[in-house]
Amino acid sequence: MSNITENLNTIHEKIDSCATAAKKESSTIQLLCVSKTKPIEKIIEAYNSGERHFGESYALEADEKIQKLKELGYKDIAWHFIGPIQKNKTKYIAKDFDMVESLDRPIIAQRLNEQRPDDLPPLEVLIQVNLSEEEQKFGCSVNEIDNLVETVKNCSKLRLKGFMGVGKDTPDLKVIEEEFIKLQGIFLKYQKTIPEISVLSIGMTHDLDLAIKHGSTEVRIGTAIFGAREYNTAPFNQEKVAFIGGGNMSSCIYESLTKIYSPEQIMVSGPHLEKLQKFKERGSGITTDNLEALKFAEIIFLGVKPQILTSVLEEIAHSQESLNHKLFISMAAGFKLSSIEKILNTKKIIRIMPNTPAKIGLGVVAVTYDDEVTEKEKQNLNVMLKNMGLIVEGSESQLNVIGVIAGCGPAFVYRFMEALVSESKKLGISNDLARKLVENTVLGAVSLVINSQDASLQSLREAVTSKGGTTFAGLTQMTEGHFEETMHNTVTASIERTNEFEKMF
Ligand SMILES: *Cc1c(COP(=O)(O)O)cnc(C)c1O
Candidate from 8, 31, 32, 34 with most ligand 1 atoms within 8 A of CB, to mutate: 34
pLDDT at 375 over 70: yes
Protein residue with least CA distance to atom 10, ligand 1:
220
Residue 337 near residue 396 (C-beta atoms within 8 A): yes
Residue identifier of the C-alpha nearest atom 6 of ligand 1 = 222
3-class SS of residue 9 = helix
Q: Give ligand 1 pocket residues (Cβ under 6 A).
A: 34, 36, 57, 82-83, 166, 204-205, 220-224
Q: Coil, helix or strand for 327?
A: strand
Torsion sign across C-alpha atoms 214, 219, 220, 225: positive
The span from the CA of 146 to the CA of 129, in Å, is 12
Please, which pLDDT band fits residue 132 given cuts at 50, 70 and 90? confident
Beta strand ranges found along 68-170 (DSSP E)? 78-81, 99-103, 123-128, 158-164
Ligand 1: residue whose CA is nearest its atom 12 = 82
Which atom of ligand 1 lies closest to the CA of 34?
Answer: 4
From the list 326, 284, 296, 290, the residue with the least C-alpha distance to 308 is: 290
The sign of the dihedral angle between the CA atoms of 96, 100, 106, 107 is negative
pLDDT number for residue 349? 96
Quick one: which atom of ligand 1 is closest to the CA of 223? Answer: 8
Give the bridge partners for 129, in sequence order.
140
Q: Which of ligand 1's atoms lies nearest the C-alpha of 164?
A: 13
Band of residue 233 on the pLDDT scale cut at 50, 70, 90: very low
Name the strand (E) or helix (H) holding 442: helix 431-450
Residue-wise burial string across 6-19, b where 16 or more C-beta atoms lie within 10 A, e elsewhere: ebbeebbebbeebb
CATH architecture, domain defined by 3-226: Alpha-Beta Barrel (3.20)
Q: If you measure from the C-alpha of residue 200 to the centroid of ligand 1, how many angstroms do you get, rounded to a whole number?
A: 15
- What CATH superfamily is the domain 241-365? NAD(P)-binding Rossmann-like Domain (3.40.50.720)
In this model, does residue 387 exceed pLDDT 90? no
- Mean pLDDT over 363-372 rounds to 93
Kindly give the distance from the C-alpha atom of residue 204 to the centroid of ligand 1, in angstroms, as a whole number: 6
- What atom of ligand 1 comes closest to residue 229's alpha carbon? 8
Distance from residue 35's CA to the centre of ligand 1 (Å): 9
Domain 404-493 has CATH 1.10.3730.10: yes
Q: Whose CA is nearest to atom 4 of ligand 1?
A: 222
Distance CA 243, CA 228 (A): 31
Tell me the three state secondary structure of residue 228. coil
- Is the pLDDT reported for residue 237 higher than 80? no
State the CB neighbour count (10 A cutoff) for residue 264.
Answer: 11
| Ligand 1 atom closest to residue 224's alpha carbon, by position in its atom list | 9
* Predicted pLDDT of residue 397: 85
Map out the domains of the chain as residue ranges: 3-226, 241-365, 404-493
Rounded distance from Cα 222 to ligand 1 centre (Å) = 6
Q: Are 293 and 244 in contact (CB under 8 A)?
A: yes
pLDDT in tens, 247-297: 988 999 998 888 878 899 999 999 999 999 999 999 999 999 999 999 999
- Look up residue 316 and give its DSSP letter: H
Please report, rounded to a whole number, the percentage of residues in the chain having pLDDT higher than 70.
Answer: 97
Atom number of ligand 1 nearest to Cα 102: 13
**Parallel/antiparallel/unpaired status of strands 123-128 and 158-164:** parallel
Other Cβ atoms closer than 10 A to 490: 15
Q: What is the DSSP letter of 129?
A: B
